[in-house]
Amino acid sequence: MTSSDDVRAAVDRLAAAQRTRVPCAPVRDLIGTDDLPAAYAVQQGLVQARIADGARVVGRKIGATSEAVQRQLGVDQPDFGYLLDDMDVSAAARPGGGPVGMATLVQPRVEAEVAFRLGEDLDLPEEQITLERVRAAVDVALPSLEIVDSRIAGWDIGFTDTVADNASSGLFVVGEHGVALSDLEPRDVEMSLTIDGEERSSGKGVACLGDPLEALRWLAVQAARFGDPLRAGHLVLSGALGPFVPFDPGSRVTASISGFAPLSVTFEA
């Protein structure tokens, strides 16, 4: 059983790495390798500290939904983290938008995925959170780029490490124009991610737990279990459709996901 002192020590270690941008040692020495409640307690500690500093929760992200990413991370199940308003750099993809700043990033990677904007709360008993109910709760689907990051040196992470580190969150970009699910089947989309014109990752909607909507259903169940259900207006990044890849400062990254307009950003040199 992980002690509250160990949880606090893990929060402090990860927070210091974020503040200084100097990667730290894994936190599994403090919280173990299979104590998920402790890992999510660390995540909550980090998120609540940022909220106390003025950040606002705007949604969630689902991590490790594809086999490709699970292999990259050495894990065998998905996890989730929180999206905060200060992580949203979508303005960089708008006409006249400037480059995405790198000042908060430590060891960033980029991945492309389908995002959902909810039009209804999913505050339901677990048995009522069906795929059909989840689909009905979606307002629009959006193309997205997630800039994942790890505060842990060399991405030397186990499952509890990535959970504790807010599911290895960094920044995110979503497209300006959404598509209704009546006009899009998320499991059928195809994705190509290019960096400076060269394809570096590709995948399909079916790679995301069989269907990005199934990933959303999984998250809604987990959120209900944790007593913090998904709400109308929340944005959910449903998980990478292909492997995440590194990029350099100054890179131009484009996600082309069928059914959506291409989504491009440039990173600060």
**Of the listed ranges 64-68, 94-98, 99-103, the one predicted with least confidence:** 64-68
- What are the Cα distances from residue 206, in Å, to 157, 178, 189, 240, 255? 26, 20, 8, 11, 17
Which one of 3.90.850.10, 3.90.550.10, 1.20.120.1770, 3.30.479.30 gives the CATH number of domain 57-266? 3.90.850.10
Residue 243 · residue 111 · CB < 8 Å? yes
Question: In the prediction, which pLDDT does 34 show?
Answer: 92
Residue 85's pLDDT band (boundaries 50, 70, 90)?
very high
Question: In the prediction, which pLDDT does 1 show?
Answer: 83
Which H or E run contains 148?
A: strand 138-148
Segments in 57-211 forming alpha helices (H): 67-73, 131-137, 159-164
Please provide residue 176's backbone torsions phi and psi, each rounded to the nearest 5 degrees: -80, -30
Mean pLDDT along residues 253-269: 97
pLDDT higher than 90, residue 69: no
CA 247 to chain centre: 17
Q: What is the pLDDT of residues 141-180, one digit of tens each?
A: 999 999 999 999 999 999 999 999 999 999 999 999 999 9
Question: In the prediction, which pLDDT does 10 show?
Answer: 98
Q: Distance between CA 77 and CA 112 in Å, rounded?
A: 19
Question: In the prediction, which pLDDT does 66 show?
Answer: 72
Greater confidence, 66 or 145? Answer: 145
Question: In the prediction, which pLDDT does 146 show?
Answer: 98
Question: In the prediction, which pLDDT does 64 show?
Answer: 79
- Specify the residue for token string 């989730």: 80
pLDDT higher than 90, residue 71: no
Mean pLDDT along residues 237-257: 96
Each domain of the chain, given as residue ranges in start order, spans 57-266
Of 34, 8, 12, 37, the residue nearest 25 (C-alpha): 12
- Residues with Cβ < 8 Å from 193, sequence gap 6 or more? 110, 111, 112, 199, 200, 201, 202, 242, 245, 253, 254, 255, 256
Question: In the prediction, which pLDDT does 77 show?
Answer: 79
**Of the listed ranges 30-39, 59-68, 97-106, 205-214, the one predicted with least confidence:** 59-68
Mean pLDDT along residues 203-224: 95
Q: How many helices (H) and strands (E) does the chain have?
A: 7, 11
Greater confidence, 102 or 66? Answer: 102
Q: Rounded mean pLDDT of the chain?
A: 95
**Of the listed ranges 33-47, 58-72, 142-156, 216-230, the one predicted with least confidence:** 58-72
Segments in 143-227 forming alpha helices (H): 159-164, 212-225
Give pTM, 2 decimals. 0.95
Question: In the prediction, which pLDDT does 121 show?
Answer: 97
